[in-house]
Amino acid sequence: MTNALMSNRWVMSERPDGSVSARHFRREAVPVPIPTREQTVVRNVLVSVAPHARAVMQGDTYRLQLRAGELIPSSIVGEVVAAGSAGPAVGTLVAGFSGWEEYSVVPSSSLRAVTMPVPLPNYLSVLGLNGLTAYFGITMVGAVTVGQTVVLSGAAGGVGHIAGQVARMLGARVIGIVSSDHKADVLQARLGFDAVVNRTSTTFDEDLRTAAPDGVDVYFDNVAGPLLRRVLHQMNKQGRVVSSGATATYDVRDRVDDGGNGIIVPMIARSLRLEGFLVADFAEHWPAATAVLHEWVTSGDLIVLQAVHEGLETAPTALLDLFTGVNVGQTMVRLRPDPPFTVD
Ligand SMILES: NC(=O)c1ccc[n+]([C@@H]2O[C@H](COP(=O)([O-])OP(=O)(O)OC[C@H]3O[C@@H](n4cnc5c(N)ncnc54)[C@H](OP(=O)(O)O)[C@@H]3O)[C@@H](O)[C@H]2O)c1
């Protein structure tokens, strides 16, 4: 490894002042640093595209707000091309977190080995952070049980389509919220959702009442915003809101202040419990959950949907798609073909 190796990457050019667009991103080539003893250089095969990348362009999340010139963050999957003495062997396939770039130099301790011989996109979807978010959100935070009615927003997205299927496998009645008939068809015909409601319909409240005539026991919320208040009004006593994300508040100039914005009264009146969580809260259980998810995919019980864009240059457009509701399944960008499967 020499300093001559260059890496293309996307950085934020300026903080968006409203909806994000192509001009808020800049592509540049930078030299790949030589790894320290504790670092590994990964040649990325795939990088994820997630609403969080937009959120952190605007303000702090669980990580600090991006400044102009900083790398757009994402999960990565790739092949080790160099490592310090404590790192994995060259040629090993690994998953981790860095950003939209060809080569990532990351702490070796932050990488997970790719141990299952599956197509690498699975490591950014069902076996990655979003699959784990879906799994823990439904099983641990929502504590979904047989016969309950579970409603999910962003139901055709990376987290939502897996969370809905996990709830279905636990014996729940599953209702998705999406913005297009195409997504509704996919969720019902292919993934076995019991019903789907279109959030853009003028009859949304009635449609949800028809789909959930006995009320909602668990709301797995990926988007927050005005939809949260509307679903709260249809929740059963002692229902649970699993607060996974707030996508509806990410692509705006100033974050919506949800405090008291019409949600408190229905929460008190129905004795609701709203619980936020981060997938990292369950890090010690990731290996066991990954094994379960892998088993479900292998048996055909869980279908994984992925929107794979080709070439690093497509990453900003792929992100914009998340806010126009175009994407179905987990969005990611492929930089190069899957290498042969090897483990350290
Ligand atoms: N808690 C955690 O540890 C954790 C981990 C990973 C991800 N997350 C969160 O989980 C959420 C889902 O992530 P994802 O990667 O699966 O994204 P995604 O669902 O694949 O994509 C975003 C979807 O959100 C919906 N949407 C966009 N703008 C909206 C708006 N203004 N109002 C309502 N819905 C809107 C769209 O679906 P429709 O148009 O079909 O409604 C869009 O397809 C994100 O908020 C993310 O930050 C949390």
Cβ–ligand 1 distance for 48 under 6 Å, the answer: no
Question: Which atom, in ligand 1's list, is nearest to the CA of 158?
Answer: 16
Instruction: Give the pLDDT confidence score for residue 9 in this predicted structure.
Output: 98
Residues listed for the chain: 344
Both tokens of 68, joined, read 């102009």
Among protein residues, the one with the nearest Cα to ligand 1's atom 36 is 325
C-beta of 164 in contact with ligand 1 (< 6 A): no
C-alpha to C-alpha distance for 176 and 183, rounded to whole angstroms: 10
> Any idea which of 139-143, 178-182, 252-256, 300-304 has the lowest mean pLDDT?
252-256
Provide the 3-class DSSP secondary structure of residue 92: coil
- Please report which confidence band the pLDDT of residue 3 belongs to, taking 50, 70 and 90 as the band edges: low
Q: For residue range 320-342, what is the model confidence (pLDDT) as tens digits?
A: 999 998 999 999 999 999 887 76
Q: How confident is the model at residue 112 (pLDDT cuts 50, 70, 90)?
A: very high
pLDDT, tens digit, 9 for 90 and up, residues 219-259 = 999 999 899 999 999 999 999 999 999 999 888 877 655 55
- Say yes or no: CB of residue 157 within 6 Å of ligand 1: yes
Residue 264: pLDDT above 90?
no
The pLDDT assigned to 63 comes to 87
Q: Where are the beta strands (DSSP E) in the chain?
A: 6-12, 25-31, 39-48, 73-83, 93-99, 103-107, 112-113, 149-152, 173-178, 195-198, 216-221, 235-243, 273-276, 306-310, 330-334
Give the largest Cα separation in the chain, rounded.
64
DSSP state, residue 116? S
pLDDT tens per residue across span 155-165: 999 999 999 99
**Radius of gyration over every alpha carbon of the chain, rounded to an integer in angstroms:** 20
Grouping H, G, I as helix, E, B as strand and the rest as coil, residue 342 is coil
Instruction: Indicate whether residue 50 lines ligand 1 (CB < 6 A).
Output: yes
Q: Which helix (H) or strand (E) holds 183?
A: helix 181-185
Contact of 176 with 160, CB cutoff 8 Å = yes
What's the pLDDT at 261? 66
| Listed range (16-30, 246-260, 269-283) with the worst mean pLDDT | 246-260
Please report the pLDDT score of residue 269 as a whole number: 85
pLDDT band at 300, cuts 50/70/90? very high
What is the structure's pLDDT at 338? 87
pLDDT over 80 (residue 33) = yes
Each residue's pLDDT tens digit, 72-100: 999 999 999 999 988 999 999 999 999 99
227 lines ligand 1 (CB under 6 A): yes
Q: Is the minimum distance from the CB of 128 to ligand 1 under 6 angstroms? A: no
Q: Which atom of ligand 1 is nearest to the CA of 159?
A: 16
Nearest-angstrom CA–CA distance, 199 and 216: 16
pLDDT digits (tens, 9 = 90+) for 193-207: 999 999 999 999 999
Residue 65 has pLDDT above 90, yes or no: yes
In this structure, which amino acid lies at residue 168?
R
Structure tokens at 9: 């990457």
Give per-residue pLDDT as tens, 167-180. Answer: 999 999 999 999 99
Query: Measured in angstroms, how far is the CA atom of residue 224 from the centroid of ligand 1?
Result: 9
Please name every residue paired with 306 in a beta bridge, in sequence order, or none if there are none.
330
**Residue where the block lists tokens 């998810």:** 293
Token output for 167: 């709830």
Q: Edge to edge, what strands does the sheet with 216-221 contain?
A: 195-198, 173-178, 149-152, 216-221, 235-243, 273-276
Q: For residue 47, which of 135, 155, 160, 129 has the smallest C-alpha distance?
A: 129
Is the shortest distance between the CB of 154 and ligand 1 below 6 Å? yes
Q: Read off the pLDDT band of 113 (50, 70, 90).
A: very high
Beta-bridged to residue 31, according to DSSP, are 6
**From the CB of 277, is ligand 1 less than 6 Å away?**
yes
Q: Are 44 and 101 in contact (CB under 8 A)?
A: yes
Residue of the nearest CA to atom 7 in ligand 1?
A: 130
Mean pLDDT of the 59-70 span: 92
pTM, whole model, 2 decimals?
0.95
**174 backbone dihedrals φ, ψ, rounded to 5°:** -115, 125
Whole-number Å distance between alpha carbons of 31 and 315:
20
* Binding site membership of 199 for ligand 1 (Cβ less than 6 Å): yes
Q: How far is CA 245 from CA 55, 80, 92, 179, in A?
A: 10, 32, 33, 17
Dist. CA 157 → ligand 1 center (Å): 6
List Cβ neighbours of 263 (8 Å cut-off, separation of 6 or more): 228, 229, 232
